[in-house]
Structure 1
Amino acid sequence: MVIEFSGGRVIVSPQEVLVKLATGVSLYAMVDDLRLISAGNIMVADAGAVRWHLTLDDETQLADIAECLGIDIG
């Protein structure tokens, strides 16, 4: 699944997420390292030493990602 947002694209598969930002930067995370936070529509990746977060445009994008990954929104 590909989700377009104001900063680029989020490419979601059942095991992983790849974010391609409009600036040319790419962010990657496995589903086990992701959290979805409803307050602010934020996707957080935390794999120990590597951490990043992304603010999505709206709750629909967050819900679509949660459904594809099969994870809950906190």
Structure 2
Amino acid sequence: MIIEFSQGKLVVTPFEIQCRLNVSKVVLTAMIDDIKCIAERLLIIADAGAVRWSIQLDNNQQFYEAIEVLGIAPE
């Protein structure tokens, strides 16, 4: 599934998430085991030890569509 938001696009599968940022053409990728989501702030956080990134989505619809595909529960 592709979810467009103000900073770029999320490409979400049941196994991984890619965050493609418009400004710098950066692509951030994380596997499902390294992802957590914080509903209160609409944050998707990837933490694979030495590599960490987070992205804040624009609205609840984008956030809940992403976590539904990922199959993870928000914190």
Give the TM interval when normalised to the shorter protein.
over 0.9
* Cα distance in structure 1, aligned partners of 2:13 and 2:39: 20
Aligned residue number for residue 67 of structure 1: 68
* Cα distance in structure 2, aligned partners of 1:4 and 1:31: 20
Aligned residue number for residue 58 of structure 1: 59
User: Cα offset for 1:19?
Assistant: 0.7
Number of residues of Structure 1 aligned to a counterpart in Structure 2: 74
Aligned residue number for residue 35 of structure 2: 34
Matches for 1:17-32 after TM superposition, within 5 Å: 17-23=17-23, 24-32=25-33
TM-score normalized with structure 2 length = 0.95
What is the root-mean-square deviation in Å for CA atoms of aligned residues?
0.6
* Cα distance in structure 2, aligned partners of 1:50 and 1:67: 24
**2:5 equivalent to 1:5:** yes
Structure 2: tracts of 5 or more residues without a match: none
* Cα distance in structure 2, aligned partners of 1:69 and 1:55: 16
User: Cα offset for 1:40?
Assistant: 1.3
* Cα distance in structure 2, aligned partners of 1:48 and 1:37: 18
TM-score normalized with structure 1 length = 0.97
Which ranges of 4 or more aligned residues in structure 1 deviate by more than 3 Å?
none
State, as a whole percentage, how many aligned pairs show the same letter.
43
Amino acid in the other structure paired with 2:47: D
